Amino acid sequence: MAKQDSNRKRALILYWLYGVVFAGLLIYLMFPSVEVARHLQSSVEKAFPAISLRIDKVTPYIGPGIALKEVTLLHKDNSGAVLGKFERILISPALWALVRGDRYFDIRAEGFKGTIKATVNILEKEGKRGFQTDTEMEAIRLEELKVLSNLAGRKIEGVLNGSIFLIFSISNPISANGRARLRLAGCTIELLQPIMGFSEFAFGEVTLNANLEKRRINLSQADFKGRELNGFVSGFIDLTAPFYDSGLELKGVIEPHAALFSGPDVRPDTKVLMMQFLKKGKINFTVRGTMRNPTVRFM
């Protein structure tokens, strides 16, 4: 009798497993990939009219959630400029939030040779929609993030890690509030005009802490350490649209190394001029103007 009960239990377990696998296979094969992709594309483009979304494939995954494969973000107003490409994006509802009726989603995106993890909360207030995002970035290659180089108007390379928290309204995203804690390693920044014979500066490490409120980025401090120089920058960036017309009000200190004065094209009179600014091993400077046309002044 006991043996029969044991066999019956094993059979029930096998039938249950078979049912789960069969149901999962049916869901996967019958999943409306094309319809879901179209809905996501339509929703994104409705919320952000300047952005176009392309998705190669959508499939379900155990999360529960959906997996987007070969995702491309394009800028409509800039001849289809690519904002970003992702090999895969996993989206799942935050189960702890479903009980409270909140619309939180966990997102994991693989792209730019790194990983982006985010929690997104969809906000509704007085008929207006917004988002609250908490994002962690791991090993993002800046040279793969073409939009950054395009916005800055120069080549930027390096590996980015850090976090960004934002709250913004779709109708007025430039008025977002938030904060950023970022760290760059192996960073190279191209110079639009050579300085002391150098066409670019390389930094082993750059750390940045900033807060965003009322269209102003408060850069509490950005520290940089490199072969040619060390230093820090602080101040404000007043945001406007387009971004490269945003105003700069920055100040900082440079601690030059001997390599800065040994560039292949450094003229003797340039060395003398820079030495006049050098006080106790440091050079003070300010940056004003706009992102497009910054003006650097040494003091």
* Residue 117 resides in a domain: no
Alpha carbon distances (Å) from 262 to 122, 188, 190, 223, 267: 54, 19, 18, 23, 10
Task: Flag whether 3 is in a domain.
Answer: no
pLDDT in tens, 168-180: 877 777 778 899 9
- Statement: residue 163 has pLDDT above 90: yes
pLDDT given at position 56: 84
In this predicted structure, the answer to whether residue 181 has a pLDDT above a threshold of 80 is yes
Amino acid identity of residue 283, one-letter, is: I
pLDDT, tens digit, 9 for 90 and up, residues 88-145:
988 888 766 656 656 788 889 999 999 999 988 877 776 677 788 899 999 999 888 8
User: pTM above the 0.85 mark?
Assistant: no
Structural tokens at position 8: 């019956």
Tokens 């950054």 correspond to 148
The CA distance from 52 to 222, in Å, is 33
Residue 229 included in any domain = yes
pLDDT at 20 over 70: no
For residue 47, the cross-strand partners are none
**Residue 195 covered by a domain:** yes
Residue 235 falls within a domain, yes or no? yes
For residue range 195-242, list pLDDT tens digits in order.
666 678 888 999 999 999 988 999 998 999 988 889 999 999 998 877
Q: Is the pLDDT of residue 21 over 50?
A: no
Whether residue 239 is contained in a domain is answered as yes
Q: Within a domain: residue 20?
A: no
- Report yes or no: 154 and 163 within 8 Å, Cβ to Cβ: no
pLDDT, tens digit, for every residue of 47-92?
677 778 888 888 877 767 788 889 888 877 766 677 788 999 888 8
Higher per-residue pLDDT: 84 or 13: 84
Q: pLDDT tens across 150-159, in order?
A: 767 778 899 9
Q: Is residue 17 part of a domain?
A: no
Number of domains in the chain: 1
User: What residues are paired with 57 via a beta bridge?
Assistant: 69
Q: What is residue 217's predicted lDDT score, i.e. its pLDDT?
A: 92
Containing structural domain, residue 220? 127-299
